[in-house]
A and B are shown apart, each in its own frame.
Chain A
Amino acid sequence: MQLEQQLRDRLEKKDILLMTHIVLGYPSFDTNREVIRQMVENGVDCIEMQIPFSEPMADGPVIVRANQEAIKNGIRVADCLAFAAEMTAAYDIPFLFMTYYNIIFKYGEKAFFEKARACGIKGFIVPDLPPEEGGSFLQLAAEYEIAPILIFAPTSTDVRMRVLASHGRGFIYCVARRGVTGVKSVIGQEVVEYLGRCRQATSLPLAVGFGIQDRDDVRALIGKADMAVIGSQTIRLVDEKGAGAVGSFIAGLR
């Protein structure tokens, strides 16, 4: 089933969806396995799995460190693909890959799409690949029916948002503020107005990420967006309290 439809089906029963994020191989695949189990059991609707990259330009300190540690531990792209296949077979929610373009480019775009489809991946989030540079990527995404998830930023003009939306599938990832991942966002009037502009620009579901950390943040997004994205916060939680703390944290978000 296509990603957008999967999300819409879930939206029938919930007033807001939850997407979570993990860095593959950090601190280990065993921990990833446990974290994902707890996320799914506590109602997460979609999970983005980040394939580590040595130069994670759009990420903040928490995720940067996770990327570095994973690479230092010898995590290879092939391991990430195998793990992804295991997860999609085990759980009935959509899984996405988040990574930087070089990982895909170096693997070979076509080969990567083919492999990702075989692994049951529903979408890609690639923060350093604007549509202007993504001609062949977008074509392959259509061919392999993997949703290219495009990103809106508060600095995107209305015209730009329409251009992005025309290339996007699945949902639009709305970055809540300027900056990198992991710094708390305040869902104030400015964000509400921005999300209004996002809604005007596309009929695709809207996910909001960057700095969404607790129940209040998630609740504030109800009616303004379709999915809240929790990224750095669960990594921080696992670092501090271990994988066992994830379940109750997720359950308390809605």
Chain B
Amino acid sequence: MDKQGFFGNWGGAYIPEVLHQTFQELNAEFTRCKNDPAFWQEYVELMSTYSCRPTPLTHAENLSRHFGGAQIYIKREDLNHTGAHKANNVMGQGLLVKRMGKKRVIAETGAGQHGMATATMAAKFGLACTIYMGEEDVRRQRPNVFWMEKMGATVVPVTNGSRTLKDAINEAFRDWVTNVDETHYVFGTVCGPHPFPEMVAWFQSIIGLEAAEQIMKYHGKMPARIFACVGGGSNAMGIFKRFIPESNVELVGVEAGGHGIATGLHAARLSGTDASPGVAQGYKTMFLQDEDGQMKETHSVAAGLDYVGVSPILSDLWEKGRVRFESATDTEVMAALDLTMKKEGIIPALESSHAFVQAFKEAPQLTPDDAIIINMSGRGDKDIFTIAHAFNDPSWKEFIIKRGLEYSQEK
């Protein structure tokens, strides 16, 4: 980091004055935590007892054989409590909230995984909890909404703007400026104003720390390439961070290609040419925006990747050429998901499946002596409605129709 909160040209803290004081306090507490080895120990302890850390690194032998190139390893963030890497950041910030003595947490959520994790943390730590979620995402991710509410959180559907992740973030900020004294905003990804990008990357770096040890143990050397999907970028930063100094490890971020880059219906910030530098949601990065600086609509089958901005840390790594960016279309994602289920009995989330797409494209270019790691950021169970719909699954449809009929008769 260069200037306060900047990574090269990107980052900063473009925040309304009402939040200035609370950011001072947050920065001070975060700095204390970073410099206190006991804090990290407490965090690791919590993650190994309340979640499933260390998460396994699975050798996908069937997929490796199928592609006949590199050995494919899958980092199983899906085996975290609540089913995704989001728990890492949330539990870390939960410990921070306890130290700061705040009584209420709020969060934005796209896919619902961050909201789920935050609702879980709030229940465990006895905090009030409100989750902001775009109306469009509420519809796409109904199971997560159900669980969040069951755990005692209030889920507020956001009807402004494009009704997706960015709008949920705006609404969470509006709550925060209103209730700043008692409330902490558990930012879900490596975006937003400083110190969030650095803080979230720090908590998520546990993924890469484990993966480095595991790959050395199973494969005896560093991997050739690591693949991670990139929405805001938290799972990618989580696995990449440890490997940034390893110059022989190629880091590949995979963005949402949606219906294809040429259609304009995508969320490719760094892999396409549609994004340009901008400042919104409290930070400077590459945004999908028009010439006036108005944010564009994005599209992805995966709610968690459907976002106009991207981590300032990743913009910096992109600019410096340390991370390569690719994109995967909705159609490719469904195919990769299908193959992974059939070959390995593993169900990646639609978000994570983007990383699988690119890994499958590149695995044949490498030799069996090489290893690649796919960061499987979350599990696909939450996507059952979307996936069943995309597969046009007849027996699932029949089930929904029957159940719908039952419910309508109850009325």
Chain A residues with a Cβ under 8 A of chain B: 52-58, 60, 64-65, 68, 71, 76-77, 100-103, 105-107, 127-130, 132-133, 150-157, 160, 164, 175, 178-180
Contacts and interface: CB of A to CB of B under 8 A. Distances in A.
Contact of B278 (A76, A106, A127, A132): A106
Interface string B152-169: 000000001100001000
A128 B294 contact: no
Contacts of A151: 16-17
B166 A57 contact: no
Given A53-B294, A77-B292, A133 B14 contact: yes
Contact of A76 (B179, B281, B292, B295): B292
B292 to A, nearest CB: 5
B161 A68 contact: yes
A152 B20 CA distance: 10
Nearest to B296: A54
Contacts of A156: 17, 20-21
Given A60-B174, A103-B292, A160-B21, A55 B166 contact: yes
Contacts of B209: none
B173 A101 contact: no
A197 to B, nearest CB: 13
A60 to B, nearest CB: 7
Contacts of A52: 294
Most buried by A among B17, B173, B279: B17
B260 interface: no
B17 A164 contact: yes
A129 B14 contact: yes
B170 A154 contact: no
Given A102-B279, A105-B278, A130 B20 contact: yes
A155 B180 CA distance: 9
Q: For this complex, into which size category does the number of interface residues on chain B fall? A: 35 or more
A65 B278 CA distance: 22
Contacts of A164: 17
Given A102-B287, A105-B279, A151-B17, 20 more contacts: A56-B170, A57-B281, A58-B16, A68-B161, A71-B294, A102-B278, A102-B289, A103-B292, A107-B292, A128-B14, A128-B15, A130-B15, A155-B19, A155-B180, A155-B181, A160-B20, A175-B17, A175-B18, A178-B180, A180-B177
Given A178-B177, A179-B178, A130 B279 contact: no
B4 A132 contact: yes
Nearest to A183: B178
B289 A57 contact: no
A153 B22 CA distance: 12
Nearest to A58: B16
Interface of B: 4, 12-22, 160-161, 166, 170, 173-174, 177-181, 276-282, 287, 289, 291-295
Contact of B174 (A129, A157, A180): A180
Given A55-B166, A106-B289, A153-B20, A133 B280 contact: no
What are the 10 closest A-B residue pairs judged by CB atoms, nearest first? A106-B293, A153-B18, A179-B178, A102-B293, A54-B294, A54-B295, A151-B17, A153-B17, A77-B292, A155-B21
Chain B residues touching A, majority SS: mixed
B133 to A, nearest CB: 17
B16 A128 contact: yes
A203 B361 CA distance: 65
Nearest to B178: A179
B24 to A, nearest CB: 9
Nearest to B166: A55
Given A155-B180, A160-B20, A180-B177, A54 B14 contact: no
30 contacts: A53-B293, A54-B294, A55-B161, A55-B280, A57-B170, A57-B174, A60-B174, A65-B160, A77-B293, A102-B287, A103-B293, A105-B278, A106-B276, A106-B289, A106-B293, A107-B292, A128-B282, A129-B14, A130-B20, A155-B18, A155-B20, A155-B180, A156-B20, A160-B21, A175-B18, A178-B18, A178-B177, A178-B181, A179-B178, A180-B178
B134 to A, nearest CB: 13
A184 to B, nearest CB: 13
Contacts of B170: 55-57
A107 B277 CA distance: 11
A179 B177 CA distance: 5
Contacts of A101: 14, 279
A141 to B, nearest CB: 17
Nearest to B295: A54
A133 B4 CA distance: 10
A152 B280 CA distance: 21
B14 A157 contact: no
A175 B16 CA distance: 11
Contacts of B173: 57
Contacts of B177: 58, 178-180
Contacts of A175: 17-18
B281 A54 contact: no
Nearest to B297: A54
Most buried by B among A65, A105, A150: A105
B22 A68 contact: no
Contact of B22 (A60, A76, A155): A155
Contacts of B287: 102
B293 A107 contact: yes
A66 B166 CA distance: 18
A52 B19 CA distance: 22
B20 A106 contact: no
